[in-house]
Amino acid sequence: MDKIGVLVTHKPLPYLEQELTRRGCRLFRLWESPESRRLEFCRENSSEIRAIVGNSNFGADAATIDALPKLEIVASFSVGLDKVDLPKCKERGIRVTNTPDVLTDDVADLAIGLTISVMRRIPSADKYARSGAWKKGEYTLTTRFSGKRVGILGLGRIGLAIAKRAEAFDCPISYYSRSEKPHPNYTYYSTPIDLASNCDILVVACALTEETRHIVNRAVIDALGPKGVLINIGRGPHVDEPELVAALVEGRLGGAGLDVFDNEPHVPEELFALDNVVLVPHVASATIETRTAMADLVLGNLEAHFLKKPLLTAVV
């Protein structure tokens, strides 16, 4: 990949940056420019940039693609492609790759970790223990996880991995999907509201598209109810965030474990005082093992493209 110009939209994993450099790429670090200057930065370097390495925060929108006439491939450091203008890429003949499968386990692990964390209030119990309050009295009862009904929005790779883990806790599994899947052990519901009405824990595990934006809205939150728990390891815009915050603050929703938000890294501060909420900074794939594997996929896809070999994980 000698002398190929690569626009890196976000501060990358050091291993990825080293490898791109070692293979001869010329890196253009978009995240180092202030937001208002970014398109200009692209235009200034457009004669060299032939590839973009994007992520879940900044992929390749229409304006960026238009500013880069020599762009050939967008290799996203994510499995979600909601930040890549796929129709535009198709129209321009630009290839798009993502990082499926390598992060499935970590994301599913975090979904379960967040669930137990919320229901058993582990962060709050940890705070209690560290504060010395334990010397004055016992912590409160928390809610059992085992055996609770788990409802999954989206039964793709990640949804199935979550189901498999939850089954080990004797949780009955139900799901919503565009169409019923061949999983007789899991109960299918044809609407998100029906799913929410019939589960104790609702997990968002579908891709973000026009159809799934705000799939968790006020009606679904109400159906989940004051004993229900919402877990979001999808994308912030899957959930109507102001409605979610109001429901949690008012006690109309039992709890939430959130890895993603509308406007990361900003998290609604009304949630900070709540014990029944666990907030983590978009870490579902954030392990050294998985990020390295994701980097290897990005590198593999880029190399395959520039060597005119078949791409490893092409979506477009």
Partner 1 sequence: MYAFPSHTAASIPTSDETPTSDLPPLLVLRPLSDTWLSALNAKFTLYSPSSPLSASVHAALISGAYNRVDPALLDQYPSLRCLVNTGAGVNHINLEECKRRGVQVANVGETHSKNVADYAVGLLLDVMRRITMSDRYVRNGLWVTRGNYPLGSKLGGKRVGIVGLGSIGSAIAKRLEAFECKISYLSRKAKPTVSYRYIPNICDLAAESDILVVSCALTKETHHIVNKQVLQALGKEGIIINIGRGASIDEPELVRCLAQGEIKGAGLDVFEHEPNIPKELIELENVVLTPHQSVFTPEAMAEVIQICIANFEAFFTGKPVITPVVAD
- Known catalytic residues are 235, 264, 282
Of residues 139 and 242, the one with the C-beta less far from partner 1: 139
Q: Which stretch binds partner 1 (CB under 8 A): 22-30, 168-176, 201-209, 235-243?
A: 168-176
Q: Which of 3, 34, 36, 130 binds partner 1 (CB under 8 A)?
A: 130
- C-alpha distance from residue 207 to each of 42, 123, 197, 227 (Å): 28, 28, 22, 26
262: helix, strand or coil: coil
45 near partner 1 (CB under 8 A): no
Q: Provide the token pair at 68.
A: 């880069």
Q: What's the closest the beta carbon of residue 111 comes to partner 1, in angstroms? A: 10
Of residues 164 and 178, the one with the C-beta less far from partner 1: 164
128 near partner 1 (CB under 8 A): yes
231 near partner 1 (CB under 8 A): no
15 near partner 1 (CB under 8 A): no
| Cis bond before residue 123 (omega within 30° of 0) | no
The DSSP 8-state label assigned to residue 175 in this structure reads: E
Binding mask 244-283 for partner 1 (x = CB under 8 A): --------------------xxxx----x-----xxxxxx
Which residues, 6 or more positions from 27, have their beta carbon under 8 angstroms from its beta carbon? 6, 8, 17, 20, 21
Q: Which of 143, 187, 197, 198 binds partner 1 (CB under 8 A)?
A: 143
Q: Which stretch binds partner 1 (CB under 8 A): 16-24, 46-54, 287-295, 302-310?
A: 287-295
Residue 7, judged by CB atoms within 10 A of its CB (0-12, 13-18, 19+), counts as buried
Q: Which of 82, 85, 106, 240 binds partner 1 (CB under 8 A)?
A: 106
- Quote the CA–CA distance of 30 and 72 in Å, as a whole number: 17
Contact (CB, 8 A) for 198 and 224: no
- Quote the CA–CA distance of 23 and 174 in Å, as a whole number: 47
> For binding to partner 1 (CB under 8 A), which residues are involved?
11, 105-106, 109-110, 112-114, 116-117, 120, 122-123, 125-130, 134-135, 138-147, 164-165, 167-170, 264-267, 272, 278-283, 286-291
